Amino acid sequence: MKNTLNVGMIGYKFMGKAHSNGWRQAPHFFDLKARPVLHTICGRDVDAARKAAEQLGWTHVSGDWREVVSNPEIDIVDVTTANDTHAEISIAALRAGKAVICEKPLAVTAAEARAMRDAAKATKRVNMVCHNYRRIPAIVLAKAMIDAGELGEIYHYRARYLQDWIVDPAFPLVWRLQGKIAGSGAHGDINAHIIDLGRYLVGEMDEVCALLHTFIKERPLPEAEGGLAARGGKKMGKVTVDDAAMAIGRFKGGALFNLEATRFALGRKNGIQLEINGSKGSLYFDFEDMNRLKFYNNLDPAGRHGFRDILVTDAAHAYANAWWPGGHIIGYEHTFVHTLADLVNATVSGQSVQPTFEDGYRNQVVLEAMENSSKQKQWVKIKY
């Protein structure tokens, strides 16, 4: 088998930067079964893609994703484009025999996501949706503890994803605030993450009642795209996505969930706050302190109970042990390194690697159930 895997990445913005770093860094910190090569970066604006290639370390540049997908030199296709293009590119790549990793949310609708999942099944290619937070060492530890029964029966999953980047009404109507391109707002962008973590850590959801809301109904149309630095002009446009999404519901296993995702929580930049309460203990996690996991162990002796502040940087902690000695923390981008390292190994061995397109599809089903619940103002059953 080959010692290298050639990667073709479609998209080159925020996620392109994060994925590129992951591809570059993975072989320097993990024992991989093959070395990933940053072969081709692709974007409709070839000049911008070329500039990105130089900055991010890619060898070739393409202006047409079909070219990349059909290139026999490419082993893995990495899809980091806007949400409404995920399905077409990913399905084509799978059919061209590539391993595929696609950014979340997997698609704009559950139907699209189902088609992607079906294509993955049909082609039997390695397929992964990039829910990178599953590979935060603290989350890996949480999963291991829950699976080992350290929390006992789970009663509550309480999760927030809090941001504040559009509180200013003058912030313009960028693509993420346009329903046609983004599918939804805080809901698909960040609620999707805590839904995925809930499914990963606790199990499948059964029924839900949700409320999606838009606080600022109109915003200035952007004069030019520019991420967080985008500036609006004088013309106004209608905001067609939610600013915030809340949901209460039940897991199939009997636990309750309470979710909230918002872009209107001043001071919370990327605050993913999870709490899980079980019959034997509780866990708490905050992404802004992502190297820590708080653990309350009800089996501790009398008078010695308390949330333990585990700094998840020890040799005993998965992924963390590849980096630095205990107490030397890692950051946001490391989650992509972990994800892509596992994808490389899975691609070489031809094994499935979670989270798959099936996970991405189920996530989309939950997202859609919540959207329906909000529109119809009623409880909705979650059916895959």
Q: By CB under 8 A, name the one of 279, 349, 352, 372 that touches a second copy.
A: 279
Scan residues 147-206 and list those touching a second copy (CB under 8 A).
155-156, 158, 160, 162-165, 167
Tokens representing 109 are 């609708």
Scan residues 103-122 and list those touching a second copy (CB under 8 A).
none
To a second copy, the closest distance from the beta carbon of 88 in angstroms equals: 27
Full DSSP string of 101-154: EEESSS-SSHHHHHHHHHHHHHHT--EEEE-GGGGSHHHHHHHHHHHTTTT-SE
Q: Does 256 bind a second copy (CB under 8 A)?
A: yes
Q: Does 72 bind a second copy (CB under 8 A)?
A: no
Return all residues near 371 (Cβ < 8 A) that are at least 6 apart. 184, 187, 210, 212
Classify burial at 314, counting beta carbons within 10 Å of its beta carbon; exposed 0-12, middle 13-18, buried 19 or more: middle
Q: By CB under 8 A, name the one of 143, 236, 311, 354 that touches a second copy.
A: 311
Considering CB under 8 A, how many residues would be counted as binding a second copy?
Answer: 97
Tokens representing 106 are 């997997």
Which among 102, 80, 85 is positioned nearest to 14, based on CA atoms?
Answer: 80
Q: Does 57 bind a second copy (CB under 8 A)?
A: yes
Site track for a second copy across 218-247, x = CB under 8 A? ---------xxx--------------x-xx
Q: Determine the interface stretch with a second copy among 53-61, 186-194, 234-242, 347-355 (rule: CB under 8 A).
A: 53-61
Q: Does 303 bind a second copy (CB under 8 A)?
A: yes
For the chain, how big is the Rg over CA atoms in Å? 21
Q: Does 23 bind a second copy (CB under 8 A)?
A: no
Tokens representing 276 are 């899980």
Q: By CB under 8 A, name the one of 287, 319, 357, 361 that touches a second copy.
A: 287
Scan residues 331-360 and list those touching a second copy (CB under 8 A).
331-334
Q: Does 1 bind a second copy (CB under 8 A)?
A: no
Return all residues near 55 (Cβ < 8 A) that are at least 6 apart. none
To a second copy, the closest distance from the beta carbon of 264 in angstroms equals: 4
d(CA 98, CA 302): 56
